[in-house]
Chains A and B, each alone.
Chain A
Amino acid sequence: MSTHPLSENTIVAAQGLGKQVTTAAGELTILQAVELDIARGESVAIVGASGSGKSTLLGLLAGLDLPTQGRIRLAGEWLDELDEDGRARLRGEQVGFVFQSFQLLPSLTALENVMLPLELAGVDKAAAPAATLLERVGLGARLDHYPKQLSGGEQQRVAIARAFAIEPAVLFADEPTGNLDAATGGRIIELLFSLNAEQGTTLVLVTHDDHLAERCDRAIRLDAGRIVA
């Protein structure tokens, strides 16, 4: 099925990717003929207007959903060859997420939220590395606070600490600054890029913020489900 060879250095690749959904109004095409090749350590911005299919593409690349056409290779494995649990395992080992709406667990403290991926991975003493990470994002004094006691920017920093906890090969971020004011958003971006540099993580970032896109090595522009640049 693959038409061109994948280089050793490729960590995320999409070939002939398409996504259709059936709605009450009929067949709706969200993505069409998407070709993508992201190298290890690269930072890539996915930009485009609201509704252009950015989140859908991110979800497919991260293995949260399956495409209707085409194939995806993530961290050396073809996603369509794995079942849902296999994809979950792959995510647990290789992938970190940061979301627009933070997605922290409200019943867990900041520290426990960051410990969670480590605990799931079977790390015995998860508290120490989690605390170190929270200090790294500037929340060393807020370990025992619950998400609702933190501001939006602080919550997103907890989410970033959680995403980096397992030292992922790829970090997917869906509009990480979308819910934040410009200044706070700026600090979040700095944090993302510096951790990215420290850990050598690949960064795939959805945004409609052109400034943010410019800081990436490369930008992919989506328009109505197609790559236009």
Chain B
Amino acid sequence: MMLRDLRLAWRLLLRDWRAGELRILLLALIIAVTATTTIGMFTDRLQRAMVEQSAELLGGDLLLQSPREIEAAWQARAAELGLAEALVLEFPSAVLHDDEMQLSGVKAVDERYPLRGQLRVSRSPYGEEERVDQIPAPGEAWVEARLLTLLGMALGETIELGESHLEVTRVLTFEPSAGGGFFAMAPRVMVNQAILDEAQLIQPGSRIAYQYLFAGEDAALQSFQQWLRPQLEPSHRLLDIREGQPTVGAALERAEQYLGLASLVAVLLAGVAIAMGARRYAERHFDMVAVLRCLGSGQQRILALFLPQLLWLGLLGSLVGIALAWGAQSALFYLLREMLPATLPAPGWAPLLMGLATGLIVLAGFALPPVLRLRSVPALRVLRRELAPMPLRGWLVYGVAVITLALLMWRYTGSAILTAAVMGGAAVALLLLGSGAALLLRLSRLLHRRVGVAWSYGFNNLWRRPLLSISQILAFGLTLMAMTLIALVRGDLLDTWQAQLPPDTHNHFVVNILPHQQQDFAAYLSERDIDSSPIYPLVRGRLAKVAGEPLGDRIQPGDEGAGAVYREMNLTWTDTLPSTNRITAGQWWPEGGPEDPMVVSMEQGLAERLGVSLGDVLTFSFGPQQLEVRVSSLRSVQWDSFQPNFFMIFPEQALAGQPATYMTSFHLGQPQRGELGPMVRQFPSITVVDLERMMDQVRSILDQVTLAVEFVLLFVLLAGFAVLYAALQSSLDERLHEGALLRTLGASRRQLRSGHLAEYGLLGALAGLLAALGSELVALTLYAQVFDLSYRFNWQVWLLLPAMGALLIGLAGFYGTRRVVAYSPLRVLRGL
């Protein structure tokens, strides 16, 4: 029996297919699967590419920095989890050539370095760059070009480092894990770890950073991090690729959220299309089921005949969708190959499986309820056509759909809280919008007396079935709203990213400006029209106590951010609040300094982590000397601004007498790059750090993210149009029938046509109005809660959406109902 029913179900499906009954349903399903799978595959690949790029900056997937060697147990744990490991030692050291000496940042690497990415070197200063897989041989050193300038030497000559003599064989142009802090500012020298003993560079008490690089599978990395974090001490720093690059990290995170949200919207829209298609499908099968029941099929049998059809349809739609998605993303990567990294990770299987699952889940969630309803079509319908099955119990339909959505949403956003918030918000919004639609419909009745016969026939169509009209306005409105939202968020995200790294972003930092050079240096920059930030003094000091308590008590183990202050901090003084900072509590002091100079302005994030509030007393130590100051204000700092940023800012009087050097940042355009050589020669003590390459990398990542966002928008729009199409189709059947009747009763073609135009136009305008209201409300919350963007009122939306809705839906409806007058009424009435 089972097998026979399966075969019969298959034949019924084929017959339906041939008769064109399945098109909308299948189309909606294919769009849902294609959209989500393409987005899934595209973002998966792109994300992996971006992660690889970020990992390249870090030299591995994870970096643990420690002031001494780490416990063997930690390394054992990493090995156990299958993580690759490499060790990099960083320390400052004097480099000599002839009589010249320069303090440099030395990086001693082992054969395994780098775990991710490649070293880039050139064979002449500022010469052509090449990627290499080796590290310097034990007798060699690779150095930055500016060290050659500073020491007045050429490639092939020898430097002295500690007790060893090394031949400089390559110019270092890019080094993964150009890591931490102060050493990074000095000119860079890379050597092989094998020389360290001979060179006798490492003495007890030397300032060395041990950087352990790890790389491996995501899961292993995660469990390693989880295992490790609780054991870390404040002096340890654990960086993963996000924390290593705050700008990229923030952009990635927002992009991920956006893409997740957008694919969710695509699923949601396609789900609505599927629900509508399935309802129409079910309704068009009422007669068939009634006949089947007359012919002897029981309720179980009806399900046995229809559920497999649904399953096959689901599989077919999903497979086609997946195939299309595969093609779409390949084509896309091909088109965009110029903008993307040369080697891209291959598409993974996970998004494909996810696409298949999405297809089946969406179909089950949205199409199952109407199809289940077929079971209860009464056989008596063959005699009394008006007999339809009991309407679905609301909780069943909505329950299944809501659970489906929640599951998908949770899967796509990975956040239970976000899911709950969005679902709750959506429920409230649906209620509000539903009543809004009802109200709009009522208000639109005021038009009644002002329009002609044909128009009032069209409008009457809407008012005669208020429930149906409200649900259509809601469906169209929600669709337009979702499309608008995704477009709005996209625009604002892109603007934010573009604003993050404008072309004149400071791409050089200068430190070690000596106090007596400060004036001259400022003059030097302004004479050459070089855009720079103010020159800040740098005083090295340590935060010792907070409100009398030793700092150690305040730091959570493994809190790298707070742990950073355990080391020496860069303190500064100024009377002018830096332009990228904002006071969030207390008050900034006036020009000329505060009356009581013993105050400090503290960065608010650090204050939160250390539990410091306004008015607390902090104790700083400068060698043996101690300084007590009161926190007079808290500041928010834009860390990704590429300008000097400080945790602690003092009035000048508070730090008077502490030894200081000065620093600044500036922008050098491509043609001005030649200025660097003369600048270093005129101010030999300074250290210039070039960030251009790093910023290029960041920019290219942002470009890719932007691309992903644009692409996703396209699919959301596609899914939106699928909904519009499905919704129109399901209202067309009725219009066709009614129109044919009216024509037999003597209505003219023109009357009917303008009636339909009026009806769908009004429907579209009302939906557009609703969409404008809804998208403004949602944007308001979404921006603040999820994307961390600032919201602005979009008045254009209020004009554009109703107009677009009227035009789009009016024309589509007009086009769709053309059959009413194209064919003879008889043909329509006979059920074409």
Please, how many angstroms separate the alpha-carbon atoms of A146 and B144 in the complex? Answer: 82
A107-B299 contact, Cβ under 8 Å, with A119-B8, A120-B292, A148-B832: no
Q: Which residues of B contact A109 (CB under 8 A)?
A: 15
- Cβ–Cβ contact B382 & A146, under 8 A: no
Please, how many angstroms separate the alpha-carbon atoms of A65 and B16 in the complex? Answer: 29
Q: B2 → chain A, closest Cβ, in Å? A: 11
Within 8 A of A (CB), among B277-293: 287-288, 290-293
Q: Which residues of B contact A59 (CB under 8 A)?
A: 380, 383
Q: Which residues of B contact A119 (CB under 8 A)?
A: 8, 11
Please, how many angstroms separate the alpha-carbon atoms of A24 and B832 in the complex? Answer: 35
- Cβ–Cβ contact B382 & A107, under 8 A: no
- Cβ–Cβ contact B296 & A106, under 8 A: no
Q: A122 → chain B, closest Cβ, in Å? A: 5
The reply on A64 being an interface residue by CB < 8 A is yes
- Cβ–Cβ contact A88 & B382, under 8 A: no
The reply on B460 being an interface residue by CB < 8 A is no
Using CB atoms, name the residue of chain B closest to A60. Answer: B380
- Cβ–Cβ contact A105 & B287, under 8 A: yes
Q: Which residues of A contact B385 (CB under 8 A)?
A: 101
Binds B, one of A31-39, A91-99, A219-227: A91-99
The reply on A116 being an interface residue by CB < 8 A is yes
Annotate A102-139 by CB proximity to B: 1 below 8 A, 0 otherwise: 01011111001000110111100000000000000000
Q: A159 → chain B, closest Cβ, in Å? A: 10
Please, how many angstroms separate the alpha-carbon atoms of A119 and B378 in the complex? Answer: 21
Q: Which of these, A99, A106, A112, A121, contacts B382 with CB under 8 Å?
A: A99
Q: A51 → chain B, closest Cβ, in Å? A: 13
- Cβ–Cβ contact B299 & A89, under 8 A: no
A122-B4 contact, Cβ under 8 Å, with A58-B383, A107-B15: yes
- Cβ–Cβ contact A120 & B382, under 8 A: no
The reply on B19 being an interface residue by CB < 8 A is yes
Q: Which of these, B21, B296, B379, B383, contacts A89 with CB under 8 Å?
A: B296
- Cβ–Cβ contact B297 & A92, under 8 A: yes
Q: B163 → chain A, closest Cβ, in Å? A: 91
Annotate A68-101 by CB proximity to B: 1 below 8 A, 0 otherwise: 0000000000000000110011111101010101
Number of A-B residue pairs, CB cutoff 8 Å, is 83
Q: Which of these, A91, A101, A121, A122, contacts B294 with CB under 8 Å?
A: A91
Please, how many angstroms separate the alpha-carbon atoms of A93 and B290 in the complex? Answer: 17
Q: A124 → chain B, closest Cβ, in Å? A: 8
Q: B24 → chain A, closest Cβ, in Å? A: 14
- Cβ–Cβ contact B15 & A88, under 8 A: no
Q: Which residues of A contact B19 (CB under 8 A)?
A: 106-108, 146
Within 8 A of B (CB), among A20-71: 55, 58-59, 64-65
Using CB atoms, name the residue of chain A closest to B294. Answer: A97
Q: Which residues of A contact B4 (CB under 8 A)?
A: 122
Annotate B373-400 by CB proximity to A: 1 below 8 A, 0 otherwise: 0000011101111000000000000000
A88-B831 contact, Cβ under 8 Å, with A105-B288, A174-B383: no
Please, how many angstroms separate the alpha-carbon atoms of A55 and B381 in the complex? Answer: 12
Please, how many angstroms separate the alpha-carbon atoms of A101 and B831 in the complex? Answer: 12
Q: Which residues of A contact B383 (CB under 8 A)?
A: 55, 58-59, 64, 99, 174
Annotate B4-18 by CB proximity to A: 1 below 8 A, 0 otherwise: 100010010001101
Q: B799 → chain A, closest Cβ, in Å? A: 45
Using CB atoms, name the residue of chain A closest to B21. Answer: A107
- Cβ–Cβ contact A120 & B8, under 8 A: yes
Using CB atoms, name the residue of chain A closest to B299. Answer: A85
The reply on B519 being an interface residue by CB < 8 A is no
- Cβ–Cβ contact B294 & A116, under 8 A: no
- Cβ–Cβ contact B295 & A117, under 8 A: yes
- Cβ–Cβ contact B831 & A92, under 8 A: no
A84-B296 contact, Cβ under 8 Å, with A59-B383, A99-B382, A103-B382: no
The reply on B586 being an interface residue by CB < 8 A is no
Please, how many angstroms separate the alpha-carbon atoms of A175 and B292 in the complex? Answer: 20
Within 8 A of B (CB), among A161-211: 174
Q: Which residues of B contact A65 (CB under 8 A)?
A: 378, 380
Please, how many angstroms separate the alpha-carbon atoms of A92 and B385 in the complex? Answer: 21
Q: Which residues of A contact B11 (CB under 8 A)?
A: 119
Q: A125 → chain B, closest Cβ, in Å? A: 12
- Cβ–Cβ contact B297 & A106, under 8 A: no
Q: B16 → chain A, closest Cβ, in Å? A: 5
Q: A83 → chain B, closest Cβ, in Å? A: 9
- Cβ–Cβ contact B294 & A148, under 8 A: no
Q: Which residues of A contact B297 (CB under 8 A)?
A: 88, 92, 120
Q: Which residues of A contact B830 (CB under 8 A)?
A: 148
- Cβ–Cβ contact A103 & B1, under 8 A: no
Of the listed residues B291, B295, B297, B385, the one surrounded by the most CB atoms of chain A closer than 10 A to its CB is: B295
- Cβ–Cβ contact A116 & B379, under 8 A: no
Q: Which residues of A contact B21 (CB under 8 A)?
A: 107
Using CB atoms, name the residue of chain A closest to B290. Answer: A103
Q: Which residues of B contact A120 (CB under 8 A)?
A: 8, 292, 295-297, 301
The reply on B298 being an interface residue by CB < 8 A is yes
- Cβ–Cβ contact A116 & B831, under 8 A: no
- Cβ–Cβ contact B380 & A64, under 8 A: yes
Residues of A within 8 A of B (CB): 55, 58-59, 64-65, 84-85, 88-93, 95, 97, 99, 101, 103, 105-109, 112, 116-117, 119-122, 146, 148, 174
Residues of B within 8 A of A (CB): 1, 4, 8, 11, 15-16, 18-19, 21, 287-288, 290-301, 378-380, 382-385, 830-832
20 additional A-B pairs beyond A107-B288, A120-B296, A120-B301, beta carbons within 8 Å, are A64-B294, A88-B379, A89-B298, A91-B296, A97-B294, A99-B382, A99-B383, A101-B385, A103-B291, A105-B291, A106-B19, A107-B16, A107-B21, A116-B291, A116-B292, A116-B295, A117-B295, A120-B292, A122-B4, A174-B383
